[in-house]
């Protein structure tokens, strides 16, 4: 396969500027290995692990591949301090931080020679990450699954704004499930992509079969952003999410929403496959996901469709009269 | 300038697949002429006009240009029947319909030889438009200014879904303000773009100076989607919009929101420039608009940046080691 080179591939040491999101209950060492071995960057998602379990996943992944990989650490997590120290002790070279201030761990990680990438929902926070010394940012639009920014900036608004706001490379996330989305992201000036939902629905994902089946079945408007004023989260609509949304619409206070939410909802939804009462965190573009391929197949499709897409774009320029025969990029993915 | 050819330019007879949204209080014959003369498709926005005023604008535009142009007709408007008949009587060749069923006027227009394009917020409604006989659809993501779909599908979710759903060409709208956004849209398989906010903030736009100044000043998260469960509308946040959003958050019923909204808000905001109590309908990408160019300058920038963007995308493929020198598409627009 052809290579795709940007500042992101140079930074991460990968063949392609493709990152697999470090999603809770989804991204263990098996998924990360599959993505890294296929030429992307696999991430272990620490957010649903204990520090000991994270160490185990890192150790297994280190033994299993020579390709670069990373770990995602949600800064608000009660184990975040321990996660960071586990990463450093295990010699992890790349850490993605999210959901918190980039000032908290960046200096410590950089002092240990770790590449740091921070996930942001706005250009303003991209600037904060750059100022904190991060090597790159993931600019994640509100169409992404899971926890989201309050600003609700969409990918098409956010990506080019982040690119213009910071000198460091921008990795685009939110709404990308194929090579057309990857080409769109790079057209806005991003130099890499991070995909969550697409990699969550693969053979190597730790998500339950129930979660994967629900994702394949979902229609275009089924992934809802809920808890908007409290803890914005995008998940598949189901009886639990509907109950929370109805309470929100009726003006429920935070403590009421907190009680409806309770604990362990994401585990129930993603890991246990409870389609009624679980929170199945998932991106808005889930309606365009129709199969459960291997992670390597996802990477290969992304690369080949990216190349095809750019060829189609080239064909739009400089001529006339071709428009009536031509239809760009119509593919079933 | 180079030409850009797709099925949309073939359908509309334009040099570029660029459409100026037919916005209320913004899009009179002067703006439409400027866009059409520059090689795009200018649209007169009938929604804020009387049928007589629409006839006047069409007559002036017909005298002023030989380039193709069109009229936007909001189907829910109380004058919609009259608007359609005025268009037919005046020999308008292209009508964009929005905000209502595509079944209502498409057959009548097609019988008179008019090209019909319908604006949709979902792939499902794109299919409905195609089934009704429309020649193309505008797929408009929730980042767009003004009235929006309840589904809140973002451009990155919607555009490729619409492309895959219908055989007719898709024109992408929502979040596009420059040539990078145009390239992103065409990468997803769309064959044209419609820009609202960018053309609303031009010399020839009928919007008030106050509206244009507010747009130039706006930051990245200032354009809010409000009245989400009643009449989803994206507008600049100001004391009026904040009041309505607070009422919504507290669970206010539709009649309460209707009373807060009252009548004539869009006129006050857009046409009269009332930054306190008016509804300044505007897209989320307004934070990336920093000047008030002519419409022809907007078109020229779109085309040149589109061509540059595709050149940058070509440079990502097939080589390695260039990533550390290269930074895609970083431009100030």
DSSP-derived 3-state class of residue B256: helix
- Residue to mutate among B323, B327, B330, B331, with most A CBs inside 10 A, is B323
What would the mean pLDDT of A234-256 be, rounded to a whole number? 96
Q: Are the beta carbons of A249 and B250 separated by less than 8 Å?
A: no
Residue in chain B nearest A247 by alpha carbon:
B251
Q: Is residue B333 part of a domain?
A: no
- The answer to whether residue A18 scores a pLDDT higher than 90 is yes
Let me know: does A123 contact A98? Beta carbons within 8 Å: no
ipTM score assigned to the predicted complex: 0.94
pLDDT at residue B107 is higher than 50 = yes
The per-residue pLDDT for B328 is 46
Instruction: Report how far residue A177's alpha carbon sits from residue A282's, in angstroms, rounded to the nearest whole number.
Output: 12
Residues B96 and B198 in one domain: yes
Residues A33 and A10: beta-carbon distance below 8 Å: no
| Position B330 in a domain | no
Residue where a domain stops, chosen among A139, A171, A206:
A206
A276 and A182 within one domain: no
Does one domain contain both A67 and A152?
Answer: yes
**Chain A interface, mutation test: which of B8, B14, B128, B187, most A Cβ atoms within 10 Å?**
B187
Average pLDDT, chain B: 95
B32: CATH: 3.20.20.70
Q: Are B220 and A123 a contacting pair at CB < 8 A?
A: yes
pTM of the model: 0.95
- Contact across the interface for B320 and A5, Cβ inside 8 Å: yes
Whether A296 is covered by a domain: the verdict is no
What pLDDT score was predicted for residue A2? 80
Tell me: do A194 and A214 sit in the same domain: no
Predicted local distance difference test score (pLDDT) of residue A323 = 41
Number of domains in chain A: 2
- Among B156, B225, B310, the residue with its CB nearest the CB of A285 is B156
Cβ separation of B155 and A152 shorter than 8 Å? no
Q: Is residue B40 part of a domain?
A: yes
Could you give the percent of chain B with pLDDT greater than 90?
A: 94
SS (H, E, C) chain A: CCCECCHHHHHHCCCCCEEECCCCCCCCHHHHHHHHHCCCEEEEEHHHCCHHHHHHHHHHHHHHCCCCEEEEEECCCCCHHHHHHHHHHCCCCEEEEECCCCCCCHHHHHHCCCEEEEEECCHHHHHHHHHCCCCEEEEECCCCCEECCCCCCCHHHHHHHHHHHCCCCEEEECCCCCHHHHHHHHHCCCCEEEECHHHHCCCCCCCCHHHHHHHHHCCCCCEEEECCCCCCEEEECCHHHHHHHHHHHCCCCHHHHHHHHCCCHHHHHHHCCCCCCCCCECCHHHHHCCCCCCHHHHHHHHHHHHHHHHHHHHCCECCCCCCCCCCCCCCCC
**Residue-level pLDDT at B1:** 65
Instruction: Output the pLDDT for position A326.
Output: 41
Confidence of residue B127 (pLDDT cuts 50, 70, 90): very high
- Same domain (yes/no): B23, B99: yes
Per-residue model confidence as pLDDT tens digits over B146-175: 999 999 999 999 999 999 999 999 999 999
Give B251's contacts in chain A (Cβ within 8 Å): 249-252
Note whether B191 contacts A328, CB cutoff 8 Å: yes
Which pLDDT score, from 0 to 100, does residue A1 have? 65
Same structural domain, B281 and B294: no
Specify the pLDDT at position B329: 42
In tens, the pLDDT along A120-139 reads 999 999 999 999 999 999 99
Q: What number is the average pLDDT over the span A96-108? A: 96
Q: d(Cα B71, Cα B8) in Å, to the nearest integer?
A: 16
Of A123, A156, A287, the CB nearest to B155: A156
Put simply, the answer to whether A310 touches B317 (Cβ < 8 Å) is yes
Q: A146-147 and A170-173: which strand pairing?
A: unpaired
Q: In which band, very low, low, confident or very high, does the pLDDT at A319 lie, cut at 50, 70 and 90?
A: low
Given a cut of 50, whether residue B326 has pLDDT beyond it is no
Looking at the fold, whether A22 and A121 belong to one and the same domain comes out as yes
* pLDDT for residue B327: 45
**For residues A333 and A331, what is the distance between their CA atoms, to the nearest angstrom?**
6
The reply to whether B236 and B173 lie within a common domain is no
**Domain co-membership, B25 together with B77:** yes
Whether residue A196 sits in one domain with residue A98: yes
Chain B positions touching A188 (Cβ under 8 A) are 180-181, 184, 329
Residue A264 lies in a domain: yes
Binary contact (B329, A5; C-beta < 8 A): no
Q: What are the tens digits of pLDDT across the range B277-320?
A: 999 999 999 999 999 999 999 999 999 999 999 999 999 997 54
Confidence of residue B120 (pLDDT cuts 50, 70, 90): very high
Q: How far is CA A14 from the centre of its chain?
A: 17
Q: Is residue B220 part of a domain?
A: yes
**Is a pLDDT exceeding 80 seen at residue A170?**
yes
- Phi/psi of residue A103, nearest 5 degrees: -70, -20
- Pair (A142, A273) in one structural domain: no
Residue B313 resides in a domain? no
Q: Which of A242, A267, A285 is the last residue of a domain?
A: A285
Q: Which uninterrupted H or E stretch holds B210?
A: helix B209-217
Claim to verify: residue B202 and residue B265 sit in the same structural domain: no
Q: Which residues of A touch B4 (CB under 8 A)?
A: 316-317
Question: Which residue range(s) make up the domain with A274?
Answer: 209-285
When pLDDT is averaged across residues A6-35 and rounded to a whole number, the result is 98
Q: How confident is the model at residue B2 (pLDDT cuts 50, 70, 90)?
A: confident
For residue B317, what are the contacts with CB-CB under 8 A and spacing of at least 6?
A2, A3, A4, A306, A307, A310
Q: Is B332 inside any structural domain?
A: no
């Amino acid at each position: 396969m052809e290579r795709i080179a940007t500042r992101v591939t140079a930074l991460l040491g990968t063949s392609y500027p493709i990152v697999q999101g470090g999603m809770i209950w989804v991204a263990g060492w098996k998924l990360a290995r599959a993505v890294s071995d296929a030429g992307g960057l696999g991430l272990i998602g620490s957010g649903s692990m204990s520090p000991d379990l994270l160490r185990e996943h890192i150790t297994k992944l280190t033994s299993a591949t020579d390709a670069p990989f990373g770990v995602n650490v949600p800064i608000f997590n009660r184990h975040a301090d321990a996660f960071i120290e586990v990463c450093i002790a295990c010699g992890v070279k790349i850490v993605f931080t999210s959901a918190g201030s980039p000032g908290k761990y960046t200096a410590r990680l950089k002092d240990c020679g770790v590449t740091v990438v921070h996930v942001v929902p706005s250009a303003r926070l991209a600037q904060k990450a750059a100022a904190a010394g991060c090597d790159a940012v993931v600019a994640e639009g509100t169409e992404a699954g899971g926890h989201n920014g309050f600003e609700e900036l969409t990918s098409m608004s956010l990506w080019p704004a982040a690119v213009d706001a910071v000198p460091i490379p921008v990795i685009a996330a939110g709404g990308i499930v194929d090579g057309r989305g990857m080409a769109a992201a790079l057209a806005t000036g991003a130099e890499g992509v991070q995909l969550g939902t697409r990699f969550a629905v693969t053979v190597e994902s730790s998500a339950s079969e129930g979660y994967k089946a629900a994702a394949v079945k979902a229609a275009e408007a089924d992934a809802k952003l809920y808890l908007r004023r409290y803890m914005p989260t995008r998940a598949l609509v189901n009886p639990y999410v509907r109950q929370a949304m109805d309470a929100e619409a009726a003006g429920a206070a935070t403590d009421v929403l907190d009680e409806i939410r309770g604990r362990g909802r994401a585990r129930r939804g993603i890991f246990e496959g409870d389609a009624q009462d679980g929170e199945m965190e998932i991106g808005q573009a889930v309606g365009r996901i129709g199969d459960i391929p291997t992670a390597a197949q996802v990477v290969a499709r992304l690369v080949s469709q990216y190349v095809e897409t750019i060829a189609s774009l080239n064909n739009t320029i400089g001529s006339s009269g071709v428009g009536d025969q031509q239809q760009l990029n119509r593919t079933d993915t």
